[in-house]
Amino acid sequence: MDDIAADIPAADAARTVRDALLSRRSVRAFLSTQVPQSLIGELLSLAARAPSGGNIQPWKVHVVFGRAKTELEKDLLATAADKNGGGRPEYDYYPRQWWEPYASRRSEIGLALYGTLGIGKRDVAARRAQHMRNFAFFGAPAGLFFCVERALTAGSWLDVGMFLQSFMLAAREAGLHTCPQAAFTSHHEVVRRHLAIPDGDILLCGMALGYEDTTRPENALRSPRAPLDQFVRFHGD
Ligand SMILES: Cc1cc2nc3c(=O)[nH]c(=O)nc-3n(C[C@H](O)[C@H](O)[C@H](O)COP(=O)(O)O)c2cc1C
């Protein structure tokens, strides 16, 4: 665990930006406690204060809960379980081949996550079952999908990234937790069909939103970060 994050109680609402930054993490088991639609709306309004080049505000968001979410999950789980069903992402979130330091960082967090659940390195079935939990939003009562118009360019993707983090930090202040989920991109056709997302919009990622189930072992995961000297160079006197 990062020393800096050690003193933030998991379930506490963040009161400062620092608290929010340090207590935001990907939670992968939620309570069924509902999140009021008005609160989600408020968090989205706060997130929309994120900057964007030319103030074009390129983010588009779909929120699912209740029956719409149940129906979507049913279809997603069936599609993802169908080995012949394929599921091709609309864009490459990751490169096809890895190199250092990214390869090690990625396998380290994967091993750590499965470790919390007691899933062994070679237990393909258990790993797959855990992956499938993505499509039920890890039990969260609300799910979000973030889109951007296909014709927009890389700058707009940066803008949506800022929106996403702003949303996740605002959620912390409300005592909520999140898990951003690129897993949905493999089955974007299903999401698209359920939510009437036009072809002109690309599904960037989904997100689970809810209250953390603090009793679940996977939520004990604390992801490490590289030290400053591995990603910063200060230039100057
Ligand atoms: C855009 C994006 C997509 C992600 N997609 C998934 C996902 O599909 N499933 C998942 O369990 N975690 C997903 N994650 C969570 C990352 O694994 C996580 O952010 C990383 O390991 C660092 O951990 P932390 O968020 O707890 O700090 C995603 C994160 C981001 C930013």
Could you give the C-alpha distances from 95 to 45, 103, 104, 203, 234, in angstroms and in order?
Answer: 33, 11, 14, 18, 28
* 202 beta partners: 148
pLDDT band at 158 (very low <50, low <70, confident <90, very high): very high
Look up residue 122 and give its DSSP letter: T
To the nearest 10°, the Cα dihedral for 130, 136, 139, 145?
120
Structure tokens at 194: 């359920």
Query: Could you give all domains of the chain from N- to C-terminal order, each with its CATH number?
Result: 3-85+135-223 (3.40.109.10)
Structure tokens at 232: 């910063």
How far is 65 from 97, CA to CA, in rounded Å? 36
How far is 61 from 144, CA to CA, in rounded Å? 7
**Can you tell me which residue has the tokens 């080995």?**
83
Is the distance from the beta carbon of residue 141 to the nearest atom of ligand 1 less than 6 Å?
no
pTM, two decimal places: 0.95
Task: Name which of 183, 207, 204 is nearest 91 in CA terms.
Answer: 204
- Quick check: bond before 101 cis, omega within 30? yes
Q: Give the position, in ligand 1's atom list, of the atom nearest the Cα of 138.
A: 11
Indicate the burial class of 86 (C-beta count within 10 angstroms; 0-12, 13-18, 19 or more).
exposed
At 65, which amino acid appears? F
Compute, in angstroms, the gap from residue 199 CA to the centroid of ligand 1.
25
- Looking at ligand 1, which residue's alpha carbon is closest to its atom 12? 181
Per-residue pLDDT at 226: 97
Tens-digit pLDDT profile for residues 26-82: 999 999 999 999 999 999 999 999 999 999 999 999 999 999 999 999 999 999 998
Compute, in angstroms, the gap from residue 110 CA to the centroid of ligand 1.
10
Tens-digit pLDDT profile for residues 92-111: 999 999 999 999 999 999 99
Q: Give the position, in ligand 1's atom list, of the atom nearest the Cα of 223.
A: 23
